[in-house]
Amino acid sequence: MKRIVIFASGSGTNAQNIIQYFLRTNLAEVTLVLSNKSDAKVLEKAKNLNVSSKSFTKKELISSEGILTILKQQDLDLIVLAGFLLKFPEFILKHFPNKVINIHPALLPKYGGKGMFGMKVHEAVVKNKEPETGITIHYVNENYDEGAIIFQKSFQLLENETAETVASKIHELEYEFFPKVIEELLEK
């Protein structure tokens, strides 16, 4: 069975969705959820789904003896960033080439980069009267939101769209497509 490790910083709705999706398959399992915030709701959600979880400090993330050591012990097939807000260390990426993916709530390359996450993205999309937006699943590289694009799914914005309605539609796309794209990557 393939092994997935998830990094998340917040509520963990995508992480929960991915865990539940793979509980229904024989292909893969989420073996560990890691968060840079000790009070992140994702840790509780993982625990409730019987998945090991751990919080860590930024120092542990950037230390070659910290998170990398934990990841090496996991015998993992894929690292999934699901609402993880820190820049992912280059030395970890080098140790796991083409095994780290992220989801972004816009159609990259638009509205990506440092500080562009969550409602900030949706507010910018609405403010700029974009005709469409969507999600991008991409490989992670040394720069924010610049890795090779794996998958995009878009929808047309309505005239009366708000950041909140965009966020709701984005979440629906994330929940529907993120686990399926992970599954396709693991089947290769």
Q: Mean of the pLDDT values across residues 80-101?
A: 95
Q: Mean of the pLDDT values across residues 130-159?
A: 97
Read off φ and ψ for residue 78, nearest 5 degrees.
Answer: -155, 140
Whether the predicted pLDDT of 187 surpasses 90: yes
The pLDDT of residue 159: 92
The pLDDT of residue 133: 98
The pLDDT of residue 110: 97
The pLDDT > 90 percentage for the chain reads 95
The pLDDT of residue 128: 96
- Band (pLDDT 50/70/90 cuts) for residue 64 is confident
Burial of 55 by CB count in 10 Å (0-12 exposed, 13-18 middle, 19+ buried)? middle
Whether the predicted pLDDT of 93 surpasses 90: yes
Read off φ and ψ for residue 137, nearest 5 degrees.
Answer: -110, 130
Question: For residue 70, is it left (φ>0), alpha (ψ between -120 and 50) or beta?
Answer: alpha
Strand runs (DSSP E) across the chain, as ranges?
2-8, 28-35, 52-55, 78-81, 100-104, 132-139, 149-156
- Band (pLDDT 50/70/90 cuts) for residue 34 is very high
Nearest C-alpha neighbor of 144 from the set 91, 184, 89: 89
Whether the predicted pLDDT of 188 surpasses 90: no
Whether the predicted pLDDT of 63 surpasses 90: no
How far apart are alpha carbons 74 and 39 in whole angstroms?
Answer: 23
CA distances to 40, 48, 127, 131, 158 from 102, rounded to whole Å, are 18, 24, 25, 24, 27
The pLDDT of residue 61: 93
CATH of the domain at 37: 3.40.50.170
Q: Mean of the pLDDT values across residues 46-62?
A: 95
Q: Catalytic positions, please?
A: 104
Give me the number of domains the chain comprises: 1
Residue 98 CB partners (closer than 8 Å, separation 6+):
139
- The whole domain housing 32 covers 2-187
Burial of 133 by CB count in 10 Å (0-12 exposed, 13-18 middle, 19+ buried)? buried
User: What's the pLDDT tens digit per position in 98-144?
Assistant: 999 999 999 999 999 998 999 999 999 999 999 999 999 999 999 99
